[in-house]
Amino acid sequence: MSRSSTNILDRPLGRPGGRAEGSVVSLSAFAYIYSELVQYHQQRAASISELERRLESAGYVVGLKVLEMIAYRAKETKRETRLMSILHFVSSSVWKSLFGKAADSLERSIDHADEYMIIDYEPIASTFVSVPPDLGQLSADAYVSGIVAGVLDGAGFSARVTAHSVQVEEGEYTKQGGNSIPGIPPRKDKAVFLVKFSPEVLSRDAALER
């Protein structure tokens, strides 16, 4: 336990903080902190879109760090350069390391070639959130969309990422025993993270295709 004397840069990154127990805290603890983060920004935001933008920028810096962390921990030193592989990286590696599971699906928009959707049926950030009617379109997962944007931007794929809560259609997603978190009912909304890549990212990817 000579952690205090060791410089933070000398500590191993593999096992975060040297914590023995698989490095988890309770979901409640996360929810309390996240709730305070949202409240804090809500006090300072004049509109729903400003609140979302503030949450996104809070997530953005987290995303940059997460990318670095995952990249350092990965055994192979490789860097994703292709559009599809970075999207897979986000929806599997990033999701697994942050939320303990892969994203439920990754889809390409039919209408727009530059748009992709990452879908999560049980988004962690909005687990205990119920959006009041006067906040209407607010998605409490805006923070996560910020993280995604941070990861993508850090990897050289600048993109605009927005979070949307979309009602789950009947029979679309069924899981035995309802919610995977015991004690709360199945979720009515899924989170759709819409990723819209910048034109230069697409043209670069097209150039790599050849």
Partner 1 sequence: MASSKAQAGQTLWAKMPKANAELFALTYGSLVTELVRDYEDPIEVNAQLERIGHSIGVRCVDELLSKADSSNLGSAVTQCGNLRDTAEVVSKVGFRMFLGIQAEVGGYSQDQRSFSIYLQENPLSTFVELPTIGDEQSSSSPSGGLDDLRKLKYSNLYCGVIRGALEMVNLKVECTIVRDTLKGDELNEIRVELKEVLSDGAGDDYKEE
* Residues of the shown chain interacting with partner 1 in the complex, contacts defined by CB under 8 A: 1, 3-5, 7-8, 16-19, 21, 23-34, 36-37, 39-41, 44, 58-59, 61-62, 65-66, 69, 97-100, 124, 143, 181-182
Closest C-alpha among 195, 122, 209, 194 to residue 155:
195
Looking at the Cβ atoms of 1 and 110, the one nearer to partner 1 is: 1
Q: Give the whole-angstrom CA distance, residue 60 versus residue 98.
A: 14
As measured in angstroms, the least distance from the Cβ of 25 to partner 1 is 5
Q: Give the whole-angstrom CA distance, residue 141 versus residue 139.
A: 5
Looking at the Cβ atoms of 179 and 198, the one nearer to partner 1 is: 179
Work out whether strand 115-120 and strand 105-108 pair parallel, antiparallel, or are unpaired.
Answer: antiparallel
The amino acid occupying position 67 is L
Contact 120/190 with Cβ under 8 angstroms? yes
As measured in angstroms, the least distance from the Cβ of 177 to partner 1 is 14
As measured in angstroms, the least distance from the Cβ of 203 to partner 1 is 33
Contact 140/128 with Cβ under 8 angstroms? no
In which region does residue 183 sit, left (phi positive, over 0), alpha (psi from -120 to 50) or beta (all else)?
A: left
Looking at the Cβ atoms of 143 and 193, the one nearer to partner 1 is: 143
As measured in angstroms, the least distance from the Cβ of 89 to partner 1 is 17
As measured in angstroms, the least distance from the Cβ of 104 to partner 1 is 18
Looking at the Cβ atoms of 96 and 112, the one nearer to partner 1 is: 96
Contact 193/118 with Cβ under 8 angstroms? yes
As measured in angstroms, the least distance from the Cβ of 64 to partner 1 is 10
The amino acid occupying position 53 is R
Looking at the Cβ atoms of 97 and 174, the one nearer to partner 1 is: 97
Closest C-alpha among 54, 157, 147 to residue 94:
147
Listed in sequence order, the DSSP H helices in 83-141 are 83-88, 95-99
Looking at the Cβ atoms of 21 and 134, the one nearer to partner 1 is: 21
